[in-house]
Homo-oligomer: A and B are copies of this chain.
Amino acid sequence: MTNLQASGVSAGLEHTDLLAIFEKMLLARSLDERQWILNRQGKAPFVISCQGHEAAQVGSAFALTPGKDWVLPYYRDLGVVLTLGYTPTEVMLGLFARAGDPNSGGRQMPAHYGYRKLKIVSGSSPTGTQVPHAAGIGLAIKIHNELAGRIVDDAVAWVSFGEGTSSQGEVHEAMNLAGAHALPVIFVCENNGYAISVPQRQQMGVEDVADRAAGYGFPGVVVDGTDPVACFEATQAAVERARRGDGPTLLEFKCLRLTPHSSDDNDRTYRPSDELKAIKQHDPIDRFAAYLKAEDILTDAHERELRERIKHQVNEATAAAEAAPLPDPSTLLEHVFTSQARD
């Protein structure tokens, strides 16, 4: 984080941008924390967290153009979808499985994002299946440009997944395809060192997933995932490369998992107790706040005001979503086919 100021400047981020990033990080954290409270209150059967990934998510998503670029997030990416335009209420509608949940109308578990109007592509639970979709969207963009003989579509496809998920064959197949045709895809590995209980050394024989990119013919970049500016910068470079038609990049953000895998997990059964203590020292929110204050971009008063505002937003979102109706059981059979729904 030492060179964060420098990169903030070199990345062309204004102070207002840095504050906007901080705010989205805080909002993601607050919404996430509230979800755990609701879970303990018996009001939300399932929570899966972004805590410890906020810097990577918000920083990276900040380099995308909402509504233009295609985004295929995974279940931890609350920070990503908030940055791209989800409202807190929409997030909470998903948590409570309400009919108005934009992801799925309450059909999917919480955090299974998807929102056509934001070009956030519907995701699922099986790990890694979104990565071929991103390659396919990249292929479609490439086809448009090749048929036109020039770049008529400079959108990119941004897709994320955990380091555990990088073991899935489909992730390999997608990266290989993207490498073969220099497709405009940004592969983002949010590496938090665990796949549920399985530590990275049990998952693979390397330190850096980014090392794989060389085997596909494109750059792999390791980034401090607790530094939002570094994540922004790395993503921006990848986006520019992709828009130019130069092909994919694999970004590996080294993140922290500050919570158990999900509300169904108990990480004390497998995680050394001192490890959690140690990583909490690197909490991306605290670090970014400290940096912004050290640089006089954020004052204590401003931070308090921000936190108040966000708390209020989260309260409102929770109340609105809780009051919203559940899906009508009579809708169970709808949308098996699109044709059925549209004619």
Nearest B residue to A172 by beta-carbon distance? B172
Nearest B residue to A203 by beta-carbon distance? B180
Q: Does A278 lie at the interface of the complex (its beta carbon under 8 Å from any beta carbon of B)? A: no
Nearest B residue to A201 by beta-carbon distance? B180
Q: Contacts A168-B173, A170-B169 hold; do A215 and B217 have CB atoms under 8 A apart?
A: no
Q: Does A255 lie at the interface of the complex (its beta carbon under 8 Å from any beta carbon of B)? A: no
Q: Say which residue of B167, B173, B179 sits within 8 Å of A176 (CB atoms).
A: B167
Q: Contacts A211-B215, A212-B212, A214-B215 hold; do A182 and B170 have CB atoms under 8 A apart?
A: no
Which A residues from 165 to 193 make CB contacts under 8 A with B? 167-173, 176-182
- Please indicate the chain B residues that have their CB under 8 angstroms from the CB of A149 in the complex: none
Q: Does A205 lie at the interface of the complex (its beta carbon under 8 Å from any beta carbon of B)? A: yes
Q: Does A3 lie at the interface of the complex (its beta carbon under 8 Å from any beta carbon of B)? A: no
Among A167, A169, A211, max chain B CB count under 10 A is at A169
Determine if A179 and B204 form an interchain contact, defined as CB atoms under 8 angstroms apart: yes
- Shortest A79–chain B CB gap in Å is 27
Interface size on A, residues (CB 8 A): 30
Which A residues from 203 to 247 make CB contacts under 8 A with B? 203-206, 209, 211-218, 247
Distance between Cα atoms of A171 and B215 in the complex (Å): 13
Q: Does A339 lie at the interface of the complex (its beta carbon under 8 Å from any beta carbon of B)? A: no
Q: Say which residue of B168, B172, B179, B181 sits within 8 Å of A206 (CB atoms).
A: B179
Q: Does A202 lie at the interface of the complex (its beta carbon under 8 Å from any beta carbon of B)? A: yes
Determine if A173 and B169 form an interchain contact, defined as CB atoms under 8 angstroms apart: yes
- Please indicate the chain B residues that have their CB under 8 angstroms from the CB of A171 in the complex: 169, 172
Among A177, A182, A213, A215, max chain B CB count under 10 A is at A215
- Please indicate the chain B residues that have their CB under 8 angstroms from the CB of A206 in the complex: 179, 214-217
Please name 4 further chain A to chain B contacts, defined as beta carbons within 8 Å, in addition to the given A167-B176, A169-B171, sorted by A numbering. Answer: A180-B205, A212-B215, A213-B215, A215-B215
Of the A-B pairs whose beta carbons lie under 8 Å apart in the complex, a sample of 11, sorted by A's number, is A167-B176, A169-B170, A171-B172, A176-B205, A180-B201, A180-B203, A182-B205, A205-B247, A206-B217, A209-B215, A213-B215
